[in-house]
Structure 1
Amino acid sequence: MAGGRRVRGVGAVALCLLLSLAGCDGRTAADSARSEVQHLLDLRSAALLRHDAGAYGATGASTEYTRLRALPLASWAYRITGLRRTAGGATVDADLAYKVAGYDRAPIDTRRTLTLARTASGTWYVTGDRPAGKSGQQLWDQGTVTAVPGAHSLVLGAGQPPADLRAYARMADQAVPAVTREWGTDWTRRVVVLVPKSLQGMAGLLGSPAANYRGIAAVTTGEAGGAGRTPADRVVINPDAYAVLGAMGKQVVLTHETTHVATRARTTAATPLWLSEGYADWIGYLGTDRTPTEAAPELARAVRDGHVPAALPADKDFGFTSDPTELAQAYESGWLACRMIADQWGAARLAAFYRGVGGHPQRPGAVESTLEQVLGLTPESFTTRWRTYVRTELR
């Protein structure tokens, strides 16, 4: 009997040691810390959403609150994906999902790295929040966000004068109805424009080297293939390149990028870039007085030299790191292909062609079958017709 009691006693000691490591409810110390930090981040998010500066400050550093307070948010939430204890604190990996009120149907998802410290009493608080690894910056990482709402737009800047942001809003407000007239109403009919302070700021938002965007006035972020779920697109401006454009050029650029926002849910892996970029340019140039030779100067120069392209540009020809002349010719070729469809079959048929190509679940055969269904042409006859059109319009 005594021996049995000793065994039970040793077992009890071992159990106590195990519980001291795991916690009385079976959780490890790491699990407990993760739960506590997640609760802290939930409190921080709730304070931000209800504009409670005091409650936000009680969770840690308030720099982000100051920078974010002008951003109209519908949701904001962190989900911890990893936690590493450090001397006196922790480093946390988290997914941040947020939506801008009135504009985003789906959240922006981005990865963040947060640093936390702990008080002597064991209370966690946030000391820093930055982009994780190779993730791009968010606008508030570059400074205090200024928000300028328009009739159909929201322009967000960091470091730009409000008057400049209002000019962007006026142009975006013209772009949205222009796109809707051609594409239709099955999109949000609202656009969010991000205006960083410089090319470097644009590159930071996109998480890529600045050299990739030098000379590119704007890009649109968002994943193709909405499958019924409209992504939260952003038009990101390169203020350095945008500034050198004339008034018409600036409007064309914003209308082009707004077209990408409108068509994103109908743009899939099946959609070739000559179609998506060409269609955006086609809507962008509508209503301007630009002639084909003015709108397609590089391709016009090639045609005059006797070099009519043998085929429509491939997707690789649209890379921002491509030769500038070849890149310009790729965009101009796509624009003329879309312009030809609108001229010869009508604008409604052009939109139907775009939707039809994007409606295919897989890329192989999408263009070929849609050409036959919508335009009654084979790829070969379409290319021949396009080459003739290029020669005629740019001679």
Structure 2
Amino acid sequence: MLAVVLTRGPHDVDPRPVDVPRASPAAAAAALTAFVDAVDSRDSVALASLAPMDEAAAAELLSGIARNADSLDLRSVSARYVDQVGTVAPDGTWTGIVELTWQLGGMDPAPSTADVAVAFAPDDVGLGISRFSSGDDSSARVPLWLRGQLSVARADGVLVMLDGTWREATSVAQRVTRGIEVVNRVLPEWRSPVVVEVPATASDLDETLGAAPGTYAAIAAVTTTAGSGTGTDAPVHVFVNPDVTAGLRRAGAQVVLSHELVHVATDAARTPMETWLLEGFADYVALRDTNLPDRTTLGRAIELARREGVPDALPSAADFDTRARDLQARYEQAWLACRIVAERLGEQALVFIYEAAAAGEPVDRSLRRAGLPAAELTGEWRSRLRQLVG
């Protein structure tokens, strides 16, 4: 047998390296240092110069941040590069997670901290900053002051930052001032600076809070920490969903803000307690001096009871999930329970029960000590709902 072996000639491999775009943490850190320096000096020209060449939108965004720094009296600003997110695009653009800190002068007791996704893009000068986003990290945020120039309105102890017109910001500030008066009628000793943030859309609100898309779509407003911190000195702000509040009448928008200010006054963002009491008390204070009929204030609760029957128990924490069905009906149910406590025991007793729960005492024990056992409260609450259903 004859075997024939055929071989190719020698194959030369090109030793030259392939030019693959790479992320540069050092260049990112340098860009962030320049960003912080320009924010500290309120230098809109220096900030705009950090945008990649020929990206006018990025330059406008960064320039607006300088104006925000001035109008908000931003302090303690820092930006530390943490890590790359994803891969580098063929054009050399890439995203990095940055630990950002900031503080509103005269309003926040301490700096806020949050992870922010920063898009970097190379140009002839170096590495530019294109935009800020939540990226693919569900915990990352986009603080409102990073969204370009905002409208800022102030009143006594009140600061409103709004992605919209100055007239809108002023209107919100006026409602906050009225809301403080509403809260002081029940909690006269409360004195605290109030910061309200109003993004342009509900989706912007999700990004501002580092939440999954759609989390706050049905929520008119939420009171929570401005950053990811939850410590005792972490700043707490009110965040408004304009997509919901735009559809409310003036009285409804006022109730929303008054409700949230109760949460600010009682530090509800850091106070674990039964949710029906937490939310029902806030609605009790916000609605205390309104003259609306029960068919209006309890309309959704009545509709739910007609559809599914009167509930056996007061609403649970799960009923208040931001995406829960019949969420507004649960708020009305909670308000009715707190109103019954105030009617049976007096307003100060309701305040006592709330404060005891905030201090860690089980609500059942507080109710029993006040003279209205939980079972009796629930029974009367169910009876009222049955009467309203008719």
TM-score, normalising length: structure 1: 0.75
* 3-state DSSP of counterpart to 2:280: helix
* 3-state DSSP of counterpart to 1:233: strand
Q: CA offset at residue 278 of structure 1?
A: 0.8
* 3-state DSSP of counterpart to 1:216: coil
* 3-state DSSP of counterpart to 1:219: strand
Structure 1 pair 229–353 and aligned structure 2 pair: CA distance change class (3 A): farther
1: CA distance, partners of 2:95 / 2:204: 26
Q: CA offset at residue 221 of structure 1?
A: 3.2
CA contact (8 A) 1:155 1:165 kept: yes
Pick from 176, 179, 183: which aligns with 1:179? 183
Aligned-CA RMSD value: 3.6
* 3-state DSSP of counterpart to 2:260: helix
**Cα deviations across residues 270-316 of structure 1 (Å, max 9, x unaligned)?**
x1221111111111112211123321113234667894322100111
1: CA distance, partners of 2:384 / 2:269: 27
Residue correspondence of structure 1 range 317-336 to structure 2 within 5 A: 317-324=319-326, 327-336=327-336
TM-score, normalising length: structure 2: 0.76
> Partner residue of 1:20?
none
Structure 1 pair 66–303 and aligned structure 2 pair: CA distance change class (3 A): same
> Partner residue of 2:238?
234
2: CA distance, partners of 1:367 / 1:136: 35
Pick from 20, 37, 56: which aligns with 1:46? 37
2: CA distance, partners of 1:307 / 1:117: 58
1: CA distance, partners of 2:212 / 2:328: 21
Number of aligned positions between the proteins:
351
> Partner residue of 1:192?
196
| Unpaired segments ≥5 residues, structure 1 | 1-29
Residue correspondence of structure 1 range 1-395 to structure 2 within 5 A: 37-38=28-29, 40-57=31-48, 62-68=59-65, 69-70=67-68, 71-72=71-72, 73-82=74-83, 91-116=95-120, 125-131=127-133, 132-133=135-136, 134=138, 135-140=140-145, 142-158=147-163, 160-186=164-190, 188-196=192-200, 198-208=201-211, 211-222=214-225, 228-238=232-242, 240-264=243-267, 267-269=270-272, 271-301=273-303, 307-324=309-326, 327-360=327-360, 366-373=362-369, 375-391=370-386
**Cα deviations across residues 324-366 of structure 1 (Å, max 9, x unaligned)?**
3xx2321111101111222222323222222221222xxxx72
Percent identity, aligned pairs only, is 25
2: CA distance, partners of 1:45 / 1:202: 24
Which has the larger share of helix? 1
* 3-state DSSP of counterpart to 2:310: coil
CA contact (8 A) 2:63 2:148 kept: no
Q: CA offset at residue 252 of structure 1?
A: 0.8
* 3-state DSSP of counterpart to 2:103: strand
| Unpaired segments ≥5 residues, structure 2 | 1-21, 53-58
* 3-state DSSP of counterpart to 2:266: helix
**Cα deviations across residues 97-128 of structure 1 (Å, max 9, x unaligned)?**
212222222433221233556788xx854333
Q: CA offset at residue 371 of structure 1?
A: 2.9
